[in-house]
């Protein structure tokens, strides 16, 4: 049961990444990089709309009339950099915690 539950966060992370990449790919393909070239993005209603709001909130996407979007490449690159830094930080903390638990178990 625990194995099944532990897979859920990985699946959610993969779905988020796939959705973000799909949004960015659609905007790049349409050359939507300014307000004048903003275009509609096709996403799944549940997670897609959430990701559009999130990317807009961090500044990676510009919004025109709440239904057309354009990609801000520089802001998207900054967002990706911050995201990678968070992943590295969390991974480092988890490795340190595992090492501490392993050491503690061997000292008893």
Backbone angles phi, psi at 22, to 5 degrees: -65, -45
How confident is the model at residue 10, as a pLDDT?
87
Which domains does the chain possess? 2-107 (1.10.10)
User: What's the token pair of residue 6?
Assistant: 């532990």
Confidence of residue 2 (pLDDT cuts 50, 70, 90): low
How confident is the model at residue 108, as a pLDDT?
73
Query: Over 90: is that where the pLDDT of 73 sits?
Result: yes
| pLDDT tens for each residue of 74-108 | 999 999 999 999 999 999 999 999 999 999 988 87
Angle (CA) 94-51-27 rounded to 5° is 120
pTM confidence score: 0.82
């Amino acid at each position: 049961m625990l194995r099944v539950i532990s897979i859920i966060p990985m699946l959610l992370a993969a779905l988020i990444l796939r959705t973000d990449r799909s949004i960015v790919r659609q905007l790049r393909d349409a050359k939507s990089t300014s307000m004048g070239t903003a275009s509609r993005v096709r996403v799944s209603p549940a997670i897609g709309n959430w990701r559009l709001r999130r990317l807009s909130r961090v500044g990676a996407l510009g919004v025109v009339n709440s239904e057309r979007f354009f990609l801000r490449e520089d802001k998207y690159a900054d967002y990706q950099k911050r995201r990678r830094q968070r992943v590295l930080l969390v991974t480092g903390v988890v490795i340190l915690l595992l090492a501490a638990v392993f050491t503690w178990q061997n000292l008893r």
